[in-house]
Structure 1
Amino acid sequence: MSKSVITIAKDFSRYPAGRYLSDGPCSGTKFREEFLIDTLNRNQHADIIFDGARGYGSSFLEEAFGGLVRLGFSKSKILEAFTFISNNDPTIPDEIIDYIDEAEEEK
Structure 2
Amino acid sequence: MNSEPYIITIVKDFNVAPYGRYPVDGPASGEEFRKTLLAPKLREYDRVHVVLDGYNRYGRSFLDEAFGGLIREEGFTGEDLRRKLTYSHSLIKSMNNVIAERIEAAEKAQQ
Q: TM-score, normalised on structure 1?
A: 0.92
Secondary structure of the structure 2 residue equivalent to 1:53:
coil
Please identify runs of 4+ aligned residues in structure 1 that moved more than 4 A: none
Q: TM-score, normalised on structure 2?
A: 0.89
Q: Is the 8 A contact 2:56 2:92 kept in 1?
A: no
Map 1:21-40 to 2 at 5 A: 21-40=23-42
Q: Tell me, in whole angstroms, the C-alpha distance in 1 between the residues paired with 2:102 and 2:25.
A: 19
Q: Are 2:95 and 1:98 equivalent residues in the alignment?
A: no
Q: Which runs of 5+ in 1 are unaligned?
A: none
Q: Is the 8 A contact 2:68 2:106 kept in 1?
A: yes
Q: Is the 8 A contact 1:28 1:59 kept in 2?
A: yes
In the alignment, what sits opposite 1:5? 7
Query: Which of the residues 70, 81, 97 maps onto 1:68?
Result: 70
Q: Tell me, in whole angstroms, the C-alpha distance in 1 between the residues paired with 2:10 and 2:4.
A: 19
The Cα offsets for residues 63-86 of structure 1, whole Å up to 9 and x where unpaired, read as 001111112211111122221111
- Aligned pair count reads 107
Q: CA RMSD for the aligned pairs?
A: 1.2
